[in-house]
Each structure stands twice: as C-alpha cells, then as structure tokens.
Structure 1
Amino acid sequence: MMSDLAGMRRDYEGDALAPENTPDAPLPLFEGWLEKAIETEGLDANAMTLATVDSAGHPHARIVLLKGFDQAGFRFYTNYQSQKGNELAHVPNAAVVFWWPTLQRQIRIEGSVAKVDSRQSDDYFARRPRQSQLAAWVSQQSVEIPNRDWMQERLSRFEQVYSDQEVERPPHWGGYLLVPLAVEFWQGQRSRLHDRVRYTRRDEHAQEWHRTRLAP
C-alpha cells in the first residue's frame, strides 16, 4: 500500500547560510558547494533539473548533467533537435535546479541560454567514451520510435561506419551555455525556517551582483 505521502517529512539541520558570510559573487560559493556535493553525492552531484518553455508558454523539465562552468556561465550538452533544443531555439531562457539531499542543499539558477561555439563542442565530444559518441548519432532524441531493436540496428550501422576511424561530432549535437541572471542558494534548517540567499544582476554583462536574504 502507498505510504501516507501527507505524513512524509524530515527535519533539516544544515549549516547556517547568511548574506554577510557569503562572497560578493555567486560562482565561488557555487564551486564550494559543488565540491562538497561531489564528496557526498558522488557521480550524481552534477545532475540538475533543466526547465524550459515551449512557444506556447508551457513548461517542461528533465534531468541533464552539468559539464562545465566558469565566469561565462554553466555548460551542458545535448541533441539540438531534441524537445529541449527546439524549445531553447524559440525561447532562449531556462532555469536549472541542483538538489543534494545529503547536504540538505539546493541551488537554483536562471538566465539566458545560447549554443557554445563549435570548437568547444568538438573538444568535449572528443573526450566522451566511444559508445557515448556513437549514441549521439544513433538517438534521434524525443522522436517516437517503434521499439528498442530500432536503436540497436542503428547502432550496428554506425559501428560499421566508424569501425576504422574516430567518431566525429554530429552537427545536431553540441553544447549550451546558461548565462545566469539569478542564482539562489538554499540551506535546509530546523522547523522549516530555511536559509535562502539570492544573487541577482542587472543583465548578463554586469559584473556586480546584488545579494539578499529571502524568507523561507
């Protein structure tokens, strides 16, 4: 029998988080939290929920992997012809959420999205395992397919095509850069009185961030 969902809860007791004890910009804090998450959450630490909207304004969300970040923004890679790729082509804005239950921490990032340059996509693709490279050719992401055998047959064909050569990056596959306009850090606390610190800036070119505490 299904558990009593309404009664499922946990109390949080994380470290204190306050604007006066955080850096002037969000990236150093993000890096520190991610490093700690890698220690505690392992290989799932870079998993993030990516939310996009379609041309009718309907939201869609899925899990993707963060594959790099710096002052420019946060990078992930996918099929440009996928549902999320089509949505980003029409509405180039997105939000991502990291959730690290062991640390009782969450990070939300919102901003504009653009494709990274082809060289950056090529460099990352070249570092992927060979089977992952082939999968980028095999999968017509988000397209309806008859069965799993359809994928296995396509995989066999591409294995033959690239049997004696390196796998090149498909033109329909590459990276995106999420340029943040807002970054919010959430630390769970007792009695649901959680700590929330939000960074915002005027536009994607602004160097100065505004930092504030939000009510839980």
Structure 2
Amino acid sequence: MNRIAKISAIGASAIVVIGLGVTWFAATRSQDDDIFAQCRQSVVAGGAGEIGGPFTLTDENGKEVTDADVITEPSILYFGYTYCPDVCPLDSARNAEAVSLLEKRGYSVTPVFISVDSARDTPELIKEFTDFMHPKMIGLTGTPEQIKKVSQEYRTYFKVQDPNDPYTLIDHSTQSYLVFPDSGFAEYYNRDTTPEQMADSVACFVDAWKNANPDGAAGN
C-alpha cells in the first residue's frame, strides 16, 4: 500500500470512528434528557413528541372542554365507540382494571374514553358507558371535525364502514395512550398488554414524572 493509500485509509477510519462517536453521544444525550428512558418499551417514529396535542371536545356532561381540562393528572386515553360490540368494551375494561390496580398501590390515574362515533355517541350514551367501566373514567365526544383533529394528533385511525347504516361498525386503532399534564404523551399500549403489565409500566412512568416534577406532581 503506497503512502497516499495509507493516508486515505486512515482518514476513512477516522471518519467512521468520529461518526460512531457522534451517534453514541447523540443517543446517550437523548436518553439522559428523557426522564422516562428507563420505562419506555415502545418506539415512536420521530420521537414521543410526534404524538398528542391540544384538543377541544365535549365531555359526558355536555360541557365543552380542552385537553388542559381533561388531563389534570397521569391519564390513559383510548379511542373507541359505545356501539362497538367487543373490542372497545374489552379494552376499556382492561384500562379500568389497570387504573384500579394502580389505585391500590397509591397511584392516581384517570382513564379517558374518546368516541370516534360523533353521529351516534351522545354525551348521555358515553356517560352511561364510562360510569359502568370506572367511576373516574371521563367520556369525550365532539363534532366530526373535532374528532378527526384529535385522532390525527394521536396518529389513530378510524373509518365508518357504512355511514348510511344506523348499526354500522367502525374500523379503528386500538392502542391506549399514557399522557401527562404539560409533558403530554409518554407511552402507548397494545391490546395484548394485560392490566398488570399496564399497571407496572404506568407506575414506572408516574414515579419518573414525580421525581422530575416534585412540585407539579405533589397532588398526585
């Protein structure tokens, strides 16, 4: 290998090493800045900040509310509809059970049910549904535009199969979202997550949140 080739090889190696060092530093710095790093199990393309956002909806009592009114403590959000024959009741019951398990451990978490069925889900119907699931569960509905906006904020999907059928089913995503006041989205849970697994995970996040915000989380 001649002198020029050697220099080129050394330069290329140095660039690779520097690149790996920058990547390692960026990853380490990111983890250091993330108060929830030790709790996270899911990966969100673009980062957790890409999910969630402000919303204005109508609660189960017919009152217009914003995300600031609803998310006053750690909360678990779920998008569904009351006419759903199986998935929504099962997922909502799972979330309610996880909240009850957390209550027994001394954690206060609010389950939230956001309807994607603005045509049929009146505040009265949602209240009946949420009261049955858990006394703390908050039900939300809204106009088609409001529901579409909050759905897009949380990257959820829903589609009415037949708008002209009063008994139509709605295809929709089934993830549940853990969110915090001010900091917003923290984690999502799939359908196969058990109440115990959810409770364990949420407890980890709440502990980390309290440690990072001892004054703001004092009431929780």
TM-score (norm 2): 0.26
Give 1 or 2: higher helix fraction: 2
Decide which structure has the larger Cα Rg and report it. Answer: 2
Give 1 or 2: higher strand fraction: 1
TM-score (norm 1): 0.27
